[in-house]
Chains A and B, each alone.
Chain A
Amino acid sequence: MSKVNFLKPDKANLNTFLYLGTFLFFISIFDVFLNSFFNVNLTGFLPNFLSFLLPLILGFIGLYFIRIEYSGIKNLDLLNKHINTNNFNAILSLLIIFIIIKSLPPILSWFVIDASFAGDTKDVCTGSGACWTYIKVWMRRFMYGMYPNAEQWRINLSFISLVLLGSVGYFATDRFKKYLTLYYVVIYPLIAFLFIFFFISGGPIFFDFSYGIIAAILSIIIGFFIPSKFRFYYFLIVPILLYIVLKYFIFFEDYIELGKLDGLNWVETGAWGGLSLTFIISFFCLIFCFPIGMAFALGRRSGFPLIRYISVGFIEFWRGVPLITVLFMSAVMFPMFLPEDFFIDKLVRAIIAISLFEAAYVAEVIRGGLQALPRGQYEAAKSLGMGYWKMHIFVILPQALKLVIPGIANTFLALVKDTPLIFVVGLLEIVGMLNLAKTNPKWLGFAMEGYVFAAIIFWIICYAMSKYSYNLEQKYKTDR
């Protein structure tokens, strides 16, 4: 055994340094661990300052001892490579380990150990931890806003059916794959709109909706007997005809009166709220902002100067102002611009405002995709004799849109994060409901729980979406 030089750990005395270093390192962690979990101060006999810094010093010496390059021990080399490359990194690593150990007990005790879950009044929340009872009691309000309790199954049913209808794409066989774009771009939004407008909103119009459903089912059943050659035209014409016939000739007025009696109760949009409103707004804004954004992206790259200037003006205007002023505009300024007896619901106004706002961002994203396409694509399409619209619909847009899917997903993510701003027009989604619940005299003092709860929900939604968009990005990267 060669001479041990403590200032210069070397491979010759590997075991000595390894044991000593590991021992010091674990002592330091153990000290912090005891200190934070059991409130025992091992080094209490030392002066205050020294006792505070001792774990760091011990850990640092320990890490210094085990920093031996190419030791031949796999785990040690891995450790050195990842957290212990030099003195500075060692100190930072130690600090992070200590911060994690120190912050675990308070977080755990607030979230779980001292928290109260049982009961349904404020009295059970006596501990120092979180009061999850508050969330439990207010859960329906946070999810559905002021929507009447007895009617909430309508929201649930609509959302579940929409999710099921939306997941059709994953189960479609190759035969139906070609119709998927049509389905997602036209039919699915239409169904969603019908669901939300007639089902969640309710009211006597509901029976209009039921005519539609009957017409659709009847026409699909008959459709199986129609030769495939005419099926396209059949589906284009017959359902609408059937709907008109059903509504105006067969069921007629008596039945509409009947329908009003049995129809679902009308729930005004002011009562909608909570997380479900977040979903509704995000969904519609996504649907509306996409075609508007596409139109302005094409307009900005158009060869006609006037159209280009108008598009540039539109895009730069919306991108230059904050969303909150846009919502202010929709709340106080927009009604002034409409004819006097013309009233637009405030939810619709908010959706229009957010859609126009996000459309400008979508337009810029799509423009990026259009610019990324090589010129050859345009020239090839033109040389085949395609006109402007044919070229864009069949050659340019399919490629460009595929390129910008991650960008669109990011814009949509921003949209979801912007929805809480609708408090400006007086609509209360989940954050608005939290602020309302917070001021309830029976449940004062639980602001923290509410915000943490909403933060967790939003975080899960947004993180899942950002991971999904990242995956899409990776997928399409390899495609090209």
Chain B
Amino acid sequence: MNFRLKDIVPQLITVIAVVLIFGFFTYNAQINMENRGIDFGYGFLSQESSFDVQFSLIEYDGSHSYFRAYLVGLLNTILVSVIGIIIATILGVIVGVARLSPNYLINKFAAFYVEFFRNIPLLLQIFFWYFAALRALPLPQDAEAIFGVFFLTIKGLYVPAFIWQNFNIFFYSIVAAVIAIIVIRIHAKKVQESQGKQIPVFLISIGLIFILPLLSFLIGGVSLSFEVPVLKQLATTSFIYEGGVSLPPELIALTLSLSLYTATFIAECVRAGIQGVGKGQKEAAASIGLTPNQVLKLVIMPQALRIIIPPTTNQYLNLTKNSSLAAAIAYPDLVLVFAGTALMQTGKAIEIVSITMFTYLTLSISISILMNWYNKKIAIQEK
């Protein structure tokens, strides 16, 4: 009996304390809301929002519901995060490998990059790109074309739009190529295990992924044309570009600063991962006659990835969470659209802040579950 009491009492005290704190908060919230005449509920989500968002991936205007506004914000957040993660990964891997280069200059250059961007607050970087660097760009009428088709102006980046015909055939051809590659890989593995023969999988894969879509152009009737943005005069001094896709400067500043900042952390993860693979592994692999490429592909990378992936996942999560800084430069992400404008209009602080936080929690937890699964898959199978 004594033993059980010792177990239960501390837990009971903690639970009572937590319940009391939450109860106190809820009680106050109820009284406060009664006094101010606010009612609690998520019904406002289906009401008409009557505010506009300047950049959205799905069709949206003031006549749509608050829930639609929430979706717009969420999609914009995901857009920034995905672009940021892709650029940050590419840049981070390059810099991380450069950090290990025997070349003194490259090594120091990469180190300088990492130390420079890592030690400046992200918000300051975003402000710098948005308010200082991108404001120095030319006006639309003075902009010079980059490669003849891109226009980088103070109002954003204008890129040509792809106009596809029979896009689904092209898409199916890519899917077919991917499936074919997977089948060939499995087959090649079997052949190698049973007969010891090696099939050049990599070359075949590259061939497939180029040839099949190319065939869809030649035979399937797929055609691709570009719509190049064209300068158009609105008034005597006001110009815009028409046609093509326009990326607002907020998006550019945000992705640029997010990826430059996060790439430094990813670079450090990559460096630590590659350094973490013992020198003996490399030498042992070379001594059994593997070529340098095979050493990298079959021995170094699988081991390095095991060290690299967990901290890199953390950085991806950080990037996604940091994308909420978009609110500071008025990029319409989840925080600005929903926790900003929608909150101002409805005054439903508790509901909206809780939905926003819950969304970020879901995003974070789903990314970490996905990465944990991958991590488990590639982990060393110890006996």
Binding site for B on A (CB under 8 A): 81-83, 85, 89, 92-93, 96-97, 304-307, 310, 316-317, 319-325, 328-329, 332-333, 335-340, 416-421, 423-424, 431, 434-435, 438, 447-448, 451-452, 454-455, 458-459, 462-463, 466
Contact between A448 and B104, CB atoms less than 8 A apart: no
Contact between A339 and B325, CB atoms less than 8 A apart: no
Q: How far is the CA of A455 from the CA of B349 in the complex (A)?
A: 34
Given the known interface contacts A82-B102, A329-B357, A333-B350, the answer about A339 and B28 at a Cβ–Cβ threshold of 8 Å is: yes
Q: Taking the nearest CB of chain B, how far is it from the CB of A413, in angstroms? A: 8
Given the known interface contacts A92-B106, A306-B14, A466-B119, the answer about A332 and B343 at a Cβ–Cβ threshold of 8 Å is: yes
Contact between A459 and B28, CB atoms less than 8 A apart: no
Q: Give the residue of B35, B121, B131, B357 whose beta carbon is less than 8 angstroms from that of A420.
A: B121
Binding site for A on B (CB under 8 A): 7, 10-11, 14-15, 18, 24-26, 28-29, 31-33, 35, 101-106, 109, 115-116, 118-125, 127-128, 131-133, 135-136, 321-322, 324-325, 327-328, 335, 339, 343, 349-350, 353, 356-357, 360-361, 364-365
Contact between B119 and A333, CB atoms less than 8 A apart: no
- 19 cross-chain CB contacts under 8 A: A83-B103, A85-B102, A92-B103, A97-B105, A307-B14, A321-B361, A324-B327, A324-B335, A332-B349, A336-B28, A336-B29, A337-B24, A417-B122, A420-B123, A423-B328, A431-B124, A448-B132, A455-B128, A466-B115
Given the known interface contacts A307-B14, A328-B353, A438-B131, the answer about A93 and B28 at a Cβ–Cβ threshold of 8 Å is: no
Contact between B364 and A325, CB atoms less than 8 A apart: no
Contact between A304 and B103, CB atoms less than 8 A apart: no
Q: How far is the CA of A337 from the CA of B30 in the complex (A)?
A: 8
Contact between B10 and A304, CB atoms less than 8 A apart: yes
Contact between B105 and A462, CB atoms less than 8 A apart: no
Q: Give the residue of B11, B26, B103 whose beta carbon is less than 8 angstroms from that of A306.
A: B11
Q: How far is the CA of A35 from the CA of B131 in the complex (A)?
A: 31
- Which of B10, B123, B365 has its CB near the most chain A CB atoms (within 10 A)? B123
Q: State the main secondary structure of chain A at its contact with B.
A: helix
Q: Taking the nearest CB of chain B, how far is it from the CB of A360, in angstroms? A: 12
Q: Which residues of B contact A463 (CB under 8 A)?
A: 115, 119
Given the known interface contacts A320-B361, A336-B349, A339-B28, the answer about A431 and B121 at a Cβ–Cβ threshold of 8 Å is: yes
Q: Which residues of A contact B360 (CB under 8 A)?
A: 320-322, 325
Given contacts A304-B10, A325-B339, 15 further A-B contacts (CB under 8 A): A82-B102, A97-B105, A304-B7, A321-B321, A322-B322, A324-B324, A325-B356, A340-B28, A340-B32, A431-B127, A448-B133, A448-B136, A455-B125, A458-B121, A462-B118
Contact between A83 and B321, CB atoms less than 8 A apart: no
Contact between A96 and B131, CB atoms less than 8 A apart: no
Q: Taking the nearest CB of chain A, how far is it from the CB of B316, in angstroms? A: 13
Q: How far is the CA of A357 from the CA of B296 in the complex (A)?
A: 41
Contact between A451 and B104, CB atoms less than 8 A apart: no
Q: Which residues of A contact B104 (CB under 8 A)?
A: 82-83
Contact between A304 and B11, CB atoms less than 8 A apart: yes
Q: Taking the nearest CB of chain B, how far is it from the CB of A220, in angstroms? A: 38
Contact between B14 and A310, CB atoms less than 8 A apart: yes
Q: Which residues of B contact A310 (CB under 8 A)?
A: 14-15, 18
Q: Which residues of B contact A462 (CB under 8 A)?
A: 118-120
Given the known interface contacts A82-B104, A85-B102, A332-B353, the answer about A307 and B10 at a Cβ–Cβ threshold of 8 Å is: yes
Contact between B365 and A320, CB atoms less than 8 A apart: yes
Q: Taking the nearest CB of chain A, how far is it from the CB of B89, in angstroms? A: 20
Contact between B324 and A325, CB atoms less than 8 A apart: yes
Q: Across the two chains, which residue of chain B brings its CB closest to A435?
A: B127
Given the known interface contacts A92-B103, A423-B328, the answer about A451 and B353 at a Cβ–Cβ threshold of 8 Å is: no
Q: Which residues of B contact A329 (CB under 8 A)?
A: 353, 357
Q: Taking the nearest CB of chain A, how far is it from the CB of B10, in angstroms? A: 6
Q: Across the two chains, which residue of chain B brings its CB closest to A306?
A: B11
Q: Which residues of B contact A96 (CB under 8 A)?
A: 105-106, 109
Q: Which residues of B contact A447 (CB under 8 A)?
A: 131-132, 135
Q: Give the residue of B10, B103, B122 whose beta carbon is less than 8 angstroms from that of A93.
A: B103
Contact between A451 and B127, CB atoms less than 8 A apart: yes
Given the known interface contacts A304-B11, A339-B28, the answer about A459 and B33 at a Cβ–Cβ threshold of 8 Å is: no
Q: Which residues of B contact A316 (CB under 8 A)?
A: 365
Q: Taking the nearest CB of chain A, how far is it from the CB of B16, in angstroms? A: 11
Contact between B11 and A333, CB atoms less than 8 A apart: no
Q: Across the two chains, which residue of chain A brings its CB closest to B108?
A: A96
Q: Taking the nearest CB of chain B, how far is it from the CB of A64, in angstroms? A: 15
Q: Across the two chains, which residue of chain B brings its CB closest to A448?
A: B132
By Cβ-Cβ distance, the 4 closest A-B pairs, closest first, are A462-B119, A322-B321, A82-B104, A337-B25
Contact between B357 and A321, CB atoms less than 8 A apart: yes
Q: Taking the nearest CB of chain A, how far is it from the CB of B373, in angstroms? A: 17
Q: Across the two chains, which residue of chain A brings its CB closest to B101?
A: A89
Q: How far is the CA of A96 from the CA of B10 in the complex (A)?
A: 63
Q: Which residues of B contact A452 (CB under 8 A)?
A: 128
Contact between A454 and B124, CB atoms less than 8 A apart: yes
Q: Give the residue of A81, A89, A323, A459 whose beta carbon is less than 8 angstroms from that of B106.
A: A89
